[in-house]
Amino acid sequence: MDAITLLKEDHRSVEKLFKRFEAAGDKAYTEKRTVVDGIIAALAQHAAIEEQLFYPVTRATVPTVEDIALESLEEHHIVKWVLSELDGMDPRDERFTAKVTVLIENVRHHVEEEEGDYFPKVRKELGRTALSDLGEAMEKAKAVAPTHPHPRSPDTPPGNLVVGTAAGMVDRVRDAAGDLAEEGRSAVQDVIAKVTGSKRSRGAGKSGRSASAKAKAKPAARKATSAAKQAKPAVRKATKQGASQAREATGTAKKTAKRATRA
């Protein structure tokens, strides 16, 4: 599936959720919560693959989309803040439906601009082969993308690749993130190089605490220490897995670029 087709399918899926929310009754709190959870997951993943691959690759290879891409990043920023407020919010809250309504309006505007202006320019410039390779990389990235919004996290490479591959462990992988960030930067550069090659092939504790309190605190401290030790292998595994996924996502792109060079 090519990159633009993938993104359009995401748009259609989210629009179905929007309509489902709009059709829910005023007091259909369970339904609204379920639908909004689906919207949050879908938009978080969609934003991640655009920010990790589609925007940086197209900015580097399509001269006419720089301004649109930057505006899109700002629109994502606003949407992610609203999503973060809705994440876990009680649907009975008087501002819940209002927030979702504003979110829907913003996303629909964003989709209209992407499909009406951004995507046609990208398709015209890159062509079928490059978009197919980019789409394959984006599908792989989507499989490990965060399912919750992270509005304070970076939205450009290499930082967003670190968050995307270890969304639930951001704090614990911070010390190990240097190597993963380098892998992420390399992965995006590889995709950009591949897309450029395709274009060419086309011709283009307080001291007063009581002894009893201290005694009670010791088991908790030991438990926390044990949990931290147990988490270390998982952190290392997540870091290695993220780097591996970044390399795998661009493997096909590299091969295609080599074939285009030989041709």
Query: What would the pLDDT profile of 215-244 be if each residue is shown by its tens digit?
Result: 544 554 455 445 445 545 554 555 455 555
Number of other CB atoms surrounding residue 59 within 10 Å: 17
Residue 168 φ/ψ region, left for φ over 0, alpha for ψ in the -120 to 50 degree band, beta for the rest: alpha
Identify each DSSP E strand in the chain by its residue range: none
C-alpha pair distances (Å), 197 with each of 35, 184, 200, 262: 42, 20, 5, 11
| pLDDT tens, per residue, the chain with 263 residues | 899 999 999 999 999 999 999 999 999 999 999 999 999 999 999 999 999 899 999 999 999 999 999 999 999 999 999 999 999 899 999 999 999 999 999 999 999 999 999 999 999 999 899 999 999 999 988 888 888 877 556 456 655 554 444 443 342 233 334 445 555 666 677 777 777 776 656 654 444 444 554 454 455 445 544 544 554 555 455 545 555 554 555 454 444 334 333 43
pLDDT in tens, 159-196: 555 444 444 334 223 333 444 555 566 667 777 777 77
Asked if 141 and 183 touch (Cβ cutoff 8 Å), the reply is no
CA separation for the pair 48, 55 (Å, rounded): 10
User: For the stretch 191-218, what's the b/e string if a residue is b when 16 or more beta carbons lie within 10 angstroms of its beta carbon?
Assistant: bbbbbbbbbebeeeeeeeeeeeeeeeee
Residue 208: its pLDDT value, please?
46
- pTM exceeds cut of 0.75: no
CA separation for the pair 186, 199 (Å, rounded): 20
Asked if 157 and 146 touch (Cβ cutoff 8 Å), the reply is no
Q: Where are the domains of the chain?
A: 3-262
> In terms of Cα–Cα distance, which of 122, 4, 135 is closest to 61?
122
CA 97 to the chain's CA centroid: 25
Residue 176: its pLDDT value, please?
35
